[in-house]
A and B are shown apart, each in its own frame.
Chain A
Amino acid sequence: MDKKYLSLTSALAALVFTVPFAVAAQADTAAPVTITVGTWGSSPAETAALNDTIATFESRNPGIAVNLQVDTGNYETDMAAKFASSTPPDAFYLNSSDSQLWQQQGVLADLTPFIAASKFSTSAFNPSYLTPYSQGGQIIGLPKDSNPLVLEGNSILMKEAGITALPTTIKQFDAQAKLLLAKKILPMCVDADINRLGAWMVAFGGGISDASNTKSLLQSKGSVAAMTWIMNNYKTGVFKTPAQISEGWAGSAFGNGKCAYTMEGAWLDPSVQGQNPKIFKAMVKGPLPTATQSGSLAFTAAWAMAKSSTHQDAAWTFIQYMESARGMTVWTSYGVAIPSRTDVGTPFGYAVNSQVAAMKTTKTTPSFPAWNNVITAFNNAAKAQIQNKKFVVATAVKEILAAGQAAWKTT
């Protein structure tokens, strides 16, 4: 048979067979599905980035229209009302600290079958970001991004004290703190908040919780050592809380040039830029100094799906896109968040954040239901100690960690 003839007939056959399907497919897209997507709004920049990412999704998936609802009020309250009335958005943000709590309430869809059916690979994600969302044999969310704590330094103030580079070890930090204090510069502004101080526990070889994200490490050797170092720093004035220096949060203290160092995530950069461009230019970033290991604490939020959603397939198509290398590249290119995938390029200006995000020793915050109680108990105890100028470090450490540990057991 003639080769030409063969290719012609096969092309014809292909045409005959595919046209009806193509028409059918077109009929499908003629009536697009609208899915509701719910998020909290953390800044106008984030909403803009999200809108652009959704636009690229819609142009690639003409069959699905996205109705974005950015929650301006209290996200937890509003979502509770929507879950209770069976009217949650189809896909929505899920905070890692809420993940187990919401899962326990039976309102989140298990993504495992969708992941299997679409052969979506989760191997590109840093495993520690998957942990909060994969418990009890289910995957109830996929990390949309991450945001680890890094060390930020004000090189102008550092120079004043004769410091040329960020400290890489605790020893260096201690030495630099002395130089800074001698020049009457506050070395570090950090709130007495377990969501900040926990990073030091990791650096000292302890941590807040173990790999399962549920078992407490608060009273481990490393954590006690970290807290002893921390409380000693608060006592000697190496650390100060933002409240002590008239600031709402450590980032604005840094942006006002009130401290040489702080430890925040990628959200600090746009804030300092708006507040004080000069300091933004002089800002240097690095991983937190190491005591026994290099490590940090990271925050993560996920895309999740409602169990009661009637458009689960469309919602999965959306989530799959947002979690793909392509979608995450668009989303993180605005610099409002750091990729949770290792195969997505580093956003401009966030190389250090990305490097820390990818470290195996960077731990996410716990996600079991009583975690909010632990935060409340730990922070209240820590602030109560610090307000008393004459606190004794050893007893303070003991009391703070015991308060956190006691709250761990409540459910």
Chain B
Amino acid sequence: MTIQALEAHKPVSKTRRVRNLKEYLTGWSFIAVPMTLFAVLSIGILFYAVYISRYDWGLLGARKYLGWQNFSDSLKDPVFLRAIRNSLLYAALVVPLQSAMGLTLALLVNSKIKGSNFFRATFYFPSMASSAAITTLFILLMTPDGLFNKILHYFGVNISNLFNQGQWLSDSRTALYSVIGLNAWTTSGTMMLFYLANLQGIDGSYEEVAKTDGANRWQILRYITLPLLKPAHFFVITTGMIGALQLYDQAILAGGADGSPNYSLMTMVLYIYNACFRQFKFGYGAAIGLELFVLIFSLTLAQRFLFGARAWKGDN
């Protein structure tokens, strides 16, 4: 038995107990205000959603008890199944992309390369504007005559012979991928910021030891820096996924409330919007919302176990 384990079995002294109680109280008081607000404005609404999801719930309240019908109806709607597929595909691609780009950018501007101050400022530019402003601009850039196609044309691509005739956002085969490109680009700056902040928290002594042991830069990155960033990876990937599965702004701006063309931009949250505000079926919307919640929550749990205890609990 190790000493630590022995200590854990020692009877707890009275002063220790007082100190524990003090720590409990400090802990609870530190989270009291946020938890109260969350309980009312978010968790409370989750329970409200559970309640109304069993009804045909209109603007002025319950109209009819439906049991599980809202849930079973949703799984029979091909448009909803398409929305699930789109949201999952979007998240599966955009999360690794934005995380990898953010990490790469952070490592680059954190190193001592020439002009790192300048790059640190410019790389953040796409993340600065509101999603509405940047998406509006992106739509202009991606039109058949837009800048993107002009660049392709410059490199010898014949736009009119492309399978989508250069209509990146209005062709159902490329619309979602175009939005993935947009969001990987615009969120990479934010992800860079997260990684940058966490890179400062790394104990530099590990790297120095490795360097004196003759490790090269790649080895330091691979065996020291990246593993030490585990809590940051966990944060970036978890929040990235939570956000990605709720794609809405860019989808409605590029494809309208219809999620057009051919439902390629219909996402789960856009589907909820349509149910609630274009049909006033709040019970149905709540049912979809709960399905989305369960999906995101289980994927988050899966990640917590995938990343292991250290990402979740740190070193202590």
Direct contact, A vs B (beta carbon within 8 Å): yes
Chain A residues with a Cβ under 8 A of chain B: 74, 76-77, 80, 83-84, 101, 104-107, 241, 243-248, 369-370, 372-373, 375-376, 379-381, 383-384, 387, 389
Q: Which residues of A are found within 8 Å of B69, using beta-carbon distances?
A: none
The contact string, 1 if C-beta is below 8 Å from chain A, for chain B 40-79, is 0000000000000000001110000000000000000001
B167 lies within 8 A of A243 (CB) = yes
B279 lies within 8 A of A244 (CB) = no
A243 lies within 8 A of B143 (CB) = yes
Q: Bound state CA distance, A105 and B60, in angstroms?
A: 7
Q: Bound state CA distance, A104 and B59, in angstroms?
A: 10
Closest CB of chain B to A380's CB: distance in Å?
5
Interface centre among B79, B139, B277, B278 (most CB of A within 10 A): B278
By the criterion of a CB under 8 Å from any partner CB, how many residues of chain B are at the interface? Answer: 30
Q: Name which of B106-114, B189-197, B254-262 contacts chain A.
A: B254-262
Question: A246-B146, A383-B170 given. 15 additional CB < 8 A pairs?
Answer: A77-B277, A80-B59, A101-B280, A105-B280, A243-B143, A243-B144, A243-B167, A244-B165, A244-B170, A370-B279, A376-B257, A376-B258, A380-B259, A383-B260, A384-B262
Q: Bound state CA distance, A241 and B278, in angstroms?
A: 25
Q: A369-B279, A380-B261 are in contact. Are A105 and B59 (CB under 8 A)?
A: yes
Q: Which residues of B are found within 8 Å of A383, using beta-carbon distances?
A: 170, 172, 260-262
From 128 to 156 in chain B, residues with beta carbon under 8 angstroms from any chain A beta carbon are 139, 143-146
Q: Which residues of A are found within 8 Å of B277, using beta-carbon distances?
A: 74, 76-77, 80
Closest CB of chain B to A400's CB: distance in Å?
11
Closest CB of chain B to A370's CB: distance in Å?
8
What are 24 A-B contacts with C-beta separation under 8 Å? A74-B277, A76-B277, A77-B277, A80-B59, A80-B280, A84-B59, A104-B58, A105-B280, A106-B59, A246-B143, A246-B144, A246-B146, A370-B279, A372-B279, A373-B279, A376-B258, A379-B258, A380-B258, A380-B263, A383-B260, A384-B261, A387-B164, A387-B171, A387-B261
Q: A241-B170, A381-B262 are in contact. Are A246 and B145 (CB under 8 A)?
A: yes
Q: Bound state CA distance, A77 and B164, in angstroms?
A: 35
Q: A105-B60, A105-B280, A369-B279 are in contact. Are A376 and B261 (CB under 8 A)?
A: no
The contact string, 1 if C-beta is below 8 Å from chain A, for chain B 251-272, is 0000001111111000000000
Q: Which residues of A are found within 8 Å of B263, using beta-carbon distances?
A: 380
B261: nearest chain-A partner, CB-CB: A383
Closest CB of chain B to A333's CB: distance in Å?
33
A106 lies within 8 A of B60 (CB) = yes
Q: Which residues of B are found within 8 Å of A369, using beta-carbon distances?
A: 279
B171 lies within 8 A of A105 (CB) = no
Q: Which residues of A are found within 8 Å of B79, using beta-carbon distances?
A: 376
Partner of B260, one of A76, A84, A379: A379
Q: Bound state CA distance, A226 and B225, in angstroms?
A: 65
Q: Bound state CA distance, A135 and B151, in angstroms?
A: 55
- B274 located at the interface, meaning its Cβ lies under 8 Å from any Cβ of chain A in the complex: yes
Closest CB of chain B to A250's CB: distance in Å?
14
- B276 located at the interface, meaning its Cβ lies under 8 Å from any Cβ of chain A in the complex: yes
The contact string, 1 if C-beta is below 8 Å from chain A, for chain B 151-184, is 0000000000000110101111100000000000
From 275 to 302 in chain B, residues with beta carbon under 8 angstroms from any chain A beta carbon are 276-280
Q: Which residues of B are found within 8 Å of A373, using beta-carbon distances?
A: 279
B167: nearest chain-A partner, CB-CB: A243
B59 lies within 8 A of A387 (CB) = no
Q: Which residues of A are found within 8 Å of B60, using beta-carbon distances?
A: 83-84, 105-107
Q: A80-B276, A105-B59 are in contact. Are A243 and B262 (CB under 8 A)?
A: no
Closest CB of chain A to B288's CB: distance in Å?
15
Q: Which residues of B are found within 8 Å of A384, using beta-carbon distances?
A: 172, 261-262
Closest CB of chain B to A100's CB: distance in Å?
11
Interface centre among A243, A248, A373 (most CB of B within 10 A): A243
Chain B residues with a Cβ under 8 A of chain A: 58-60, 79, 139, 143-146, 164-165, 167, 169-173, 257-263, 274, 276-280
Q: Bound state CA distance, A345 and B7, in angstroms?
A: 94
Closest CB of chain B to A197's CB: distance in Å?
14
Q: Bound state CA distance, A101 and B262, in angstroms?
A: 25
Q: Which residues of A are found within 8 Å of B58, using beta-carbon distances?
A: 104-106
B258: nearest chain-A partner, CB-CB: A376
B143: nearest chain-A partner, CB-CB: A246
B174: nearest chain-A partner, CB-CB: A387
B144: nearest chain-A partner, CB-CB: A246
The 5 A-B pairs at the shortest CB distance, nearest first, are namely: A384-B262, A243-B170, A246-B143, A383-B261, A246-B145
Closest CB of chain A to B166's CB: distance in Å?
9
A387 lies within 8 A of B144 (CB) = no
Q: Bound state CA distance, A384 and B266, in angstroms?
A: 14
Q: Which residues of A are found within 8 Å of B169, using beta-carbon distances?
A: 243
A373: nearest chain-B partner, CB-CB: B279
Partner of A387, one of B170, B259, B274, B279: B170
Q: Bound state CA distance, A304 and B257, in angstroms?
A: 25
B258 lies within 8 A of A375 (CB) = yes
Q: Which residues of A are found within 8 Å of B278, using beta-carbon distances?
A: 76, 372
B274 lies within 8 A of A83 (CB) = no
B59 lies within 8 A of A376 (CB) = no
Q: Which residues of B are found within 8 Å of A76, using beta-carbon distances?
A: 277-278
Q: Bound state CA distance, A384 and B263, in angstroms?
A: 9
Interface centre among B79, B145, B274, B277 (most CB of A within 10 A): B277
Q: Bound state CA distance, A110 and B82, in angstroms?
A: 40
B171: nearest chain-A partner, CB-CB: A387
Q: Bound state CA distance, A282 and B277, in angstroms?
A: 41
Closest CB of chain A to B309's CB: distance in Å?
42
Closest CB of chain B to A83's CB: distance in Å?
5
Q: Which residues of B are found within 8 Å of A379, using beta-carbon distances?
A: 258, 260
Q: Bound state CA distance, A51 and B57, in angstroms?
A: 37
Q: Bound state CA distance, A384 and B280, in angstroms?
A: 28
Partner of A376, one of B145, B274, B276: B274
Q: A80-B277, A84-B60 are in contact. Are A244 and B144 (CB under 8 A)?
A: yes
Q: Bound state CA distance, A105 and B59, in angstroms?
A: 6
Q: Bound state CA distance, A260 and B273, in angstroms?
A: 38
Q: Bound state CA distance, A101 and B275, in angstroms?
A: 12
A107 lies within 8 A of B170 (CB) = no
Q: Which residues of A are found within 8 Å of B257, using beta-carbon distances?
A: 372, 376
Q: Bound state CA distance, A383 and B170, in angstroms?
A: 8
Interface centre among A241, A248, A376 (most CB of B within 10 A): A376
Q: Bound state CA distance, A247 and B142, in angstroms?
A: 11
